[in-house]
Structure formats: structure tokens, C-alpha cells
Structure 1
Amino acid sequence: MLRYFCFLAVILGARSASAPFLTPCKKGDKACIVASAQAMVPILAPGLPELNVPSLDPMLLKVVKSEEAGLRLTLKNTTVTGMKDCTIEDARLDAESLDVVVRCSVVLRGWYKLRGTILVLPIRGEGKDTIKIRDIVISAKAKLATVKGADGQEHWHIKHWEHSFDVRTKTTFDFDNLFDGNKNLSDPVDAIVNANWKLVMLEIAPPIVRAITERVVDAVEAFFAAVPSRELQIA
């Protein structure tokens, strides 16, 4: 997701004193940019404590709330895994903007509480949840600025970002304890929700994807704060 902004930013310049694992690419060499970004995924996914970049796989989301289409959903202490296996599908960079398209399959596990209607069906429950998303494609765009850091050097900064997403393959939902464990009520609703996963994702996924994206932006900002822009310049 947007965490891959940092992949693109760092792979484009000469080797960095702050991050010597970076691989440079020539300006405009799109194939190199995409390939180098892909190579960085497993390096950056677990985090880089020496650069104050937090772990993004696993990623912990303490609270995510959604109130859409008559449904109130709260996710707590959700662990997101799978981002280390994401695929960079496209990447572009110029002096003021950074665009990336990334495909991921992720699993979210935690605790949920929901009440209201979903697909016009009444639903309620509270307990453990598992959400498996296969092939979510996120297109992210960022506007960049250059600012002076605490070290007196110039650093990149994301001043604005936006994103969109589409799930290409499938999402499965497992909400334990729906209707207080009454399977006569929960089993039919569970079957309908999973059969209509794409519509359900349109109702509940936007706040979840945005929460993950915000965590990624924080990680990118931490990386930019640690590495001067002169070490990330396009060759």
C-alpha cells in the first residue's frame, strides 16, 4: 500500500549512507524502478528500527471504526499480515509527485463489534474476527515537498496523498459469535455475506484500507525524516 512510496523514493538515487541497502536506478528507467521497488519489499516490511521505520508486517491497528450504510463496525487490536508478499505493479516518480500501484493479499485478525444492517440484512455480534482479502489493488498518489529537517539538511515530505482500491479475487469474512452464537441466525447471514463479498467490501472496507494507508504514510514520513533527500536523488 502507500508504504511502497518509500520503496520508490529510496531506490532511485545513489547508494545512501543512511540506508546502504538502496539500489540506484537511472532517471526514467521504469523497469528498474519497479524491479528495485519489488526487491525492497521484504527488507522494509519488518521495519527498520535504526531508521525509526515501524513494522508494517505485522501491522497492528488498535481501533478502526466504520459507520456506513446503516452499519456500525468497530475493529480492535487487529493484526494485518501479508504485506511482505505484495507486488509492485506500476511506479512513477517526478520531482513533485510519487505514484504507485500495488497488489496485496492480506489477512486481518482481531476483535470486532458490529450492529445494524449489511446488504439490508439485520446483523449484530461481538467477538473474534478474521478477514482474508485476496488481490487488493491499491493505486496511491502523493504530492511531495522538500523541508529542512532537525539535522539541518533537506528531507522529503508527503504533503498530500490520496488512494483508491479494488479487490480483484475474493474476500472472506469470519465473524465469531454473530447473534450471540445462535447458528440458526448466524449461518444464513454468514453465507450471504461471503457470497456477496464484493458488495460487503464496498460497505465496510474504505475505513479499514484508509487506516492501513495512514500507518504506511507514517512509516514513509519516518523514513524521509531519517534519510536526507540528497541521498535519495534521482541518478
Structure 2
Amino acid sequence: MKTTIILYLFVLSCAGVKLPANFHKCNRNQPDLKECVLRAVQDGLPQLTRSFDEVNLPNLHPFHMSELTIGAGTGPVAVEQKFHNCSVDGFHRMKIKQFELDFEEKRIACAGSFPEIKLQCQYELDGKVLLLPIKGTGPCTIVMTNLQLTALINYEERKNRGKTFIKALSSKVTIDPDMIWVNFENLFNGDKPLGDNINQVLNDNWKDLFEDVRKGYTQAFDTILNHLLNNFFTKVSLEEAFD
């Protein structure tokens, strides 16, 4: 299974800019550092309904992916899912339960939930699902509700002009939605009754179908999370984030 994702995000060279005034800062030596970092992330994430270009943080309401490919599974999903010009909404509403930086082990642990993630794209499908043919191109909507996420990210430190910047090296991400609803428009060249039936089958069997391609969607969330962290910590040094 392959997963390809291209984001409309960018990474600039390390510059050591200051944290925006409306972002909360913590001191690495304060006794309640763990609680302070959690509060800072909980306070900062909902503010990303606009971009903060000075620290490489995009608008998450929504943000855009130019391309997303979820490879075929090994079971009921015998089709590669190709998505283009995607709008993804809901990341800014994440309820963060854990966000910890282990400076000794160089590791970030994160956990939380999304009330809803909505993906709206142009799609291309040509294959089989549950042995049923599925073919079409056009707009689609995929909604994941009450999605739980955990992430463990290992990073390295890099020095630049006397400042310390970090870069994610490897990560382990898990996702678990309570429900997934999909709607692929224009299936079978616009045969609406047939398309409606296929969409109903997809929604009735979402658990089995998601399990077959879970790895691909998990890799997509992994890539997005790592891009956001790397974008931010390419511009903001540890000395600036934790004075």
C-alpha cells in the first residue's frame, strides 16, 4: 500500500523568529512545565483559523492538500484512492489531552480527539470494493467523527546561529474514528441510482473498509502532523519557545 500526500505548506530556512505575542510561552525550568506546554498548545491551536506566516503555521480552517493517494488494501478495498485539490477542515478543533516534550529523549508525545474531520476533494476511482466495481471522477466528501489520535515523534536538534531548532525524524501515529461517512458524486458517469447504492454500501460497511486502508489514512495524518511541527520549529527555536 502506498500513500502519497502533497501539502500546500512550506518550510523556510532557520531564522529564529520570535513567537507571536498571542501564543503562550513556557519556561523549561518551571516546575509545572508539562501543564504549561499543554495549556499553550490548547490555547494556540484554535487560533489557527488564520495563517501565521512568520512562524510557518497555515490556516487550518481549512487547509489545503494538492494531492492525496491512498493505496489499495489487501482485503475488500481493491482500488487506489486518488484525491486532488483537497480542503481539510477540523484540525483547529482538536481537543488536546496530552502534549509533552521530553528534552532528554528528544521526543514529543501527543494525544487528543477531533470532533469532526471533513475532507472535500476531487477524486478518481477505478477498481472494486467488496467485489463490487467502483469507477468515477468528480467531487467527494469524507467525514470522520470523534476521531482519536495519538502520536509519538522522535526528533533531532540542529544548531543555527547559536539557536537550537528541531526536526522530526520518525513517528508512530494511531487514529480511531467513531464513524466515517462518504459521498462520491458522479460515480459511473453520473448514474445516480447506481452511485447512490454504492455510496450506501460504502457507508454501511465503513468499519471493514477503513480497517483495510487504515494504514494509508494513518500515514496521511502522520505526514500532516510532522509537516506542521517541522514548519513551526524550523522558524521558532527552542530558546524562543521555552525562554
Shared fold per TM-score greater than 0.5: yes
Worse-superposed segment, 18-27 or 93-102: 18-27
1:165 aligns with 2:175: yes
User: In the alignment, which residue of structure 2 is the partner of 1:35?
Assistant: 39
- C-alpha distance in 2 between matches for 1:40 and 1:18: 11
1:50 aligns with 2:59: no
What CA deviation, in whole Å up to 9, does each residue of 1:53-111 have, x standing for no partner?
33333221111112213212100101001111111022332111111012111111110
User: In the alignment, which residue of structure 1 is the partner of 2:12?
Assistant: none
Displacement of 1:209 in angstroms is 4.2
User: In the alignment, which residue of structure 1 is the partner of 2:189?
Assistant: 180
Select the residue among 203, 206, 219 that pairs with 1:194: 203
Select the residue among 204, 218, 222 that pairs with 1:213: 222
User: In the alignment, which residue of structure 2 is the partner of 1:97?
Assistant: 107
User: In the alignment, which residue of structure 2 is the partner of 1:18?
Assistant: 19
Select the residue among 112, 120, 124 that pairs with 1:109: 120
Within-5 A mapping of 1:1-12: none
Displacement of 1:186 in angstroms is 2.0
Instruction: Count residues with an aligned counterpart.
Output: 217
- C-alpha distance in 1 between matches for 2:164 and 2:100: 22
1:223 aligns with 2:205: no
- C-alpha distance in 1 between matches for 2:214 and 2:121: 15
Worse-superposed segment, 171-180 or 59-68: 59-68
Q: Which amino acid counterpart does residue 200 of structure 2 have in structure 1?
A: A
What CA deviation, in whole Å up to 9, does each residue of 1:132-173 have, x standing for no partner?
111111111111221113x44221222222211111x21110
TM-score by length of 2: 0.79
State, as a whole percentage, how many aligned pairs show the same letter: 23
1:62 aligns with 2:66: yes
User: In the alignment, which residue of structure 1 is the partner of 2:159?
Assistant: 148
Q: Is the 8 A contact 1:19 1:227 kept in 2?
A: no
Q: Is the 8 A contact 1:140 1:163 kept in 2?
A: yes
Q: Which amino acid counterpart does residue 73 of structure 1 have in structure 2?
A: Q
Measured at CA, do residues 187 and 94 of structure 1 come closer, stay the same or move farther in structure 2, by a change above 3 Å? same
Q: Say which SS state the counterpart of residue 55 (structure 1) adopts.
A: coil
* C-alpha RMSD of the superposition: 2.3
User: In the alignment, which residue of structure 1 is the partner of 2:96?
Assistant: 88
